[in-house]
Structure 1
């Protein structure tokens, strides 16, 4: 093994998720292909070209409908572990993203020698935004 290439997130609507990650977080589309009803959609942070974030809808062909519904409910409750995004200026990123309509679950606070905030994507996936210690 040499590296992790794709980490997947379950989302309710791939187009809505794509808009959020590209327009509000500044990610770029890496792959967007369809095979019948299945869509492989990945985005990447512009400074991390080897790493992709997969935006996947639970359902066939990977999951049966009962499993897909259970996964959608878990995501909507915010029960998935948060992802972490490093930023240079947490308060500045918070102000910019709040102005774009991003739903924050925690305003920026200082702790552990840095500043962090929490937000959710439109499907309910939680994120922590942590200011780098430079």
Structure 2
């Protein structure tokens, strides 16, 4: 039986820079950082209160073939990849704190039927959604 999600991949341009961003700017902690055979590096970060979910900070490359790695790199270069949704208890306050740490926002906090949402970019250009959840029903949405 599946018990929970434990790992999600975030494609990055530079694993060291991405690890520093997720730790220093977003408040994650180091999970794993090891180099395996053929120079393959496995780097993860995790939220300090939810160690059961790790984000793998992965460079486009093996185990992808060259064509797929190039396609992922093109999307990464365009800033077209979404990385993760991040929950907060106060979207406005958290966005302000992250801005003070130098985090770039592509959408300021805005009211939505499901809560308050903002969008930010990591230092590889991935967009992340920051959400302060509130209860909702399908009727809260237009058409």
| TM-score, structure 1 normalization | 0.89
> What's the CA shift string for 1:54-77, capped at 9, x where partnerless?
0011113x1343432221111222
The structure number with the bigger radius of gyration is 2
- Name the CA distance, whole Å, in 1 between partners of 2:18 and 2:54: 14
How far 1:122 sits from its partner (Å)? 1.0
Q: Which residues of structure 2 form unaligned runs of 5+?
A: 136-143
**Superposition CA RMSD, Å:** 1.7
- 1:3: which partner in 2? 4
Post-superposition shift, 1:79?
2.3
Secondary structure class of the residue paired with 1:12: coil
Does 1:59 pair with 2:61? yes
SS at match of 1:49: strand
Runs of 4+ in 1 over 3 A off after TM superposition: none
| Distance in 2, Cα, partners of 1:41 & 1:113 | 33
SS of residue matched to 1:51: strand
**Which residue of 1 is the match for residue 44 of structure 2?**
42
Q: How many residues align?
A: 133
**TM-score, normalised via structure 2 length:** 0.84
